[in-house]
Amino acid sequence: MIRYLARRLGQSALTVFLTVTAVFVLVRLAPGDPASAYAGPTASPEDLARVRAQLGLDESVLAQYGIFLRGLLHGDAGMSYSFRAPALEVVLGRLPYTVTLAVAAILVTAVVAIPLGVWMARRADTAREIGASVLTVAGQSMPDFWSGVMLLTVFAVLVPVLPASGFTTWAGLVLPAVTVAVLQIALISRLVRREMAAALAAPYLTVARARGVSERALVWRYGMGNSLIPVLTALGTRFAALLNGVVVVEVVFAWPGVGSLVVRALETRDYPLIQATVLVTAALAIAVHLLVDVCYPLLDPRVRLGKAAAA
């Protein structure tokens, strides 16, 4: 167990390290001059040279990489050019907003998608279920920027009952969370349907039904109980994906999270900020994955981590 955990941790750290290195190389390969973005449009060449020296951009890429790694060991990902503050601090300051949005969206998803999926499994292939499954396909086919803007049009413009942007009141959470949840509900409910259909057709359920177990217990206790692992895994995976992937929705709703931050960092070529964002989000996503894996044996006594590691 300990060996397994240590190995997983090592692998995760390696993945994060490789990711950050890849980003470091990428941003330096690219054309464009962060010094000019930093110094503004009226800067003279001398200004630019000074800014370059100040930001360490006049060093060789290898030397910059060395400085960067040394900084990381001290928990320092460099100063953001556009915020003129430690990049890691800026990202961590935005993180609670993104986590809030992700948590809210995943809660909405779980509350809607699991009952919906169960219902679809029990009514499989009836006319109404076909309708519902076409709807889930539609949910998964809507570009999130579009559904976001449409929700915004309806609930903030036509019937102005909800705030359109930012997070100044709790109501501001509704539209972005629902927008994010639409896609997740579609994905998770389809998964639940598939898992439940398999569980409901299993012989032990027929036996249980023959022995007079109530239909509700049949579905929720035996059926759902056995479909829980893949569903929870999927919820965990989706949550991890949300932590680094709500860029579009954050932009649509001016949500002050990490996603809208990264769009801005890219626009201004804010190297340290881009690196810090990728570092934080990748580490977070990998941590969630790890957590989900470690929880397997707790949820299902048949699973042993040693085996998982060997497979």
Partner 1 sequence: MSVPVSSSPLPPSPGDSSPARPSAVTPRVLARSRASRQRRATRVKLWLGAGCTLVVVVPILLAGLLPLPGPNEQDLAQRRLPPLSGGHLFGTDQLGRDLLSRVLHGGQVSLAIGVLAVVVSGVIGVLAGAAAGYFGGGVDAVVCRLLEAQLSLPLLMMLLLVVALFGPSVPVITLVIAVAQWPELARLTRSLVLVEREKPYIAAARVLGLRRGVILARHVLPNVARPASLVVLLLVAQAVLLESALSYLGAGPQRPFATWGRIISDGQDYITTSWWLITLPGLVIVLLVVGVNLLGDALREATRRGRKADA
Partner 2 sequence: MTRFGSGAVLDRRSLLRAGLAAGAGAALAPLAACAGPVGAATPGSLTLGLNRSLVSLDNKLNQFDAALTVQRAVRQALTRIGPDMSATPVLAERFEQTAPTQWRVRLREGARYSDGSPVTVADVATALRMYAQVNGSFVVNLFPELPSVTPLGERDFLLETARPVPILDLLMANILITPAAANRPEELSGGLGSGPYVVSAGNGGTGEYTLERNPRYWGTPPPVRTVRVRFVPEESSRVVAIRGGELDVIDSITPDSAEQLVGLPGVAIERVPGTRINQLFFNFRKPQGHPLADARVRQALSLAIDGPALLNDVLVGSASQAEGVVPLALVGAVRTGTYTHDPAEARARLDALGVRDLTLTIIWESGEFPADASVMEAVVEMLRAVGVGARLQQFEPGGDILRWRQGRGGDWDVLGNGYPGPTGQAITSLLGMYGGTPDKERTRDTYQGYVVPEIADQLAVAAAETDAARRAEVLTAAQRAIWASWPCLWAFVPNVVLARRTRVRGLALQPINSYDLAAVRVEEQP
Measured CA to CA, the distance from residue 244 to residue 117 in angstroms comes to 26
Q: Which does residue 167 bind out of partner 1, partner 2, none, counting CB within 5 to 8 angstroms by kind?
A: partner 2
| Residue position matching structure tokens 């896609």 | 183
Q: Is 31 in a helix, a strand, or coil?
A: coil
Residues sharing a CB contact under 8 Å with residue 150, sequence separation 6 or more, in sequence order: none
Least distance to partner 2, CB of residue 198, Å: 20
Least distance to partner 2, CB of residue 122, Å: 23
Q: Is 175 in the site for partner 2 (CB under 8 A)?
A: no
Q: Is 214 in the site for partner 1 (CB under 8 A)?
A: no
Residues sharing a CB contact under 8 Å with residue 149, sequence separation 6 or more, in sequence order: 252
Q: Which does residue 94 bind out of partner 2, partner 1, none, counting CB within 5 to 8 angstroms by kind?
A: partner 2
Residue 157, classified by CB atoms within 10 Å of its CB into exposed (0-12), middle (13-18) or buried (19+), is exposed
Least distance to partner 1, CB of residue 249, Å: 11
Toward partner 2, which CB reaches closer, 104 or 113? 104
Q: Is 300 in the site for partner 1 (CB under 8 A)?
A: no
Toward partner 2, which CB reaches closer, 72 or 309? 309
H-only helix segments in 123-173: 127-141, 144-152
Please pick, from the candidates 153, 169, 206, 214, the single residue that binds partner 1 as defined by CB under 8 A: 153
Please pick, from the candidates 67, 135, 156, 208, the single residue that binds partner 2 as defined by CB under 8 A: 156
Q: How many CA atoms lie within 13 A of 202 on its CB side?
A: 18
Q: Is 136 in a helix, a strand, or coil?
A: helix
Measured CA to CA, the distance from residue 195 to residue 264 in angstroms comes to 41
Tell me the window of 120-128, 150-158, 189-197, 208-216 that interacts with partner 2 (CB under 8 A): 150-158
Please pick, from the candidates 1, 6, 13, 18, the single residue that binds partner 1 as defined by CB under 8 A: 18
Q: Is 269 in a helix, a strand, or coil?
A: coil
x/- letters, 254..293, toward partner 2 (CB under 8 A):
x-x---xx--x--xxx------------------------
Q: Which does residue 45 bind out of partner 1, partner 2, none, counting CB within 5 to 8 angstroms by kind?
A: partner 2
Toward partner 2, which CB reaches closer, 10 or 66? 10
Measured CA to CA, the distance from residue 58 to residue 66 in angstroms comes to 14
Toward partner 2, which CB reaches closer, 72 or 103? 103
Of 151, 158, 153, residue with least CA distance to 174 = 151
